Amino acid sequence: MSKPNFHAMSQKELHDYVLAHREDQEAFYAYVDKLHVEGNWIEMPPFIERVRSSSEPQDGAV
C-alpha cells in the first residue's frame, strides 16, 4: 500500500487523515509542518504590555 502525498493535501485533508491514522508519525509531522508554514502567527508583546499596564496599581489604590 502506498502512502498518500501529504504535501499535496490541504490542511483539512491532512488533519482528517491524521485523526484516522493516529499511528502514522510521518503524517503527523507533515501536518505539524503544514500548520507551522500556513499558520497565522501574531505578535504578543503589545498584548502583554497592555495586560501589564492594566494590572498595575493606580494612584491611590491599595
The model's pTM is 0.62
How far apart are alpha carbons 2 and 20 in whole angstroms?
16
How far apart are alpha carbons 17 and 28 in whole angstroms?
9
**pLDDT recorded at residue 9:** 96
**pLDDT recorded at residue 58:** 65
**pLDDT recorded at residue 29:** 98
How confident is the prediction along the chain (62 residues), in pLDDT tens digits per residue? 688 999 999 999 999 999 999 999 999 999 999 999 988 777 667 777 788 777 766 665 55
Which segments of 1-62 does DSSP mark as H helices, in order? 11-20, 25-38, 45-55
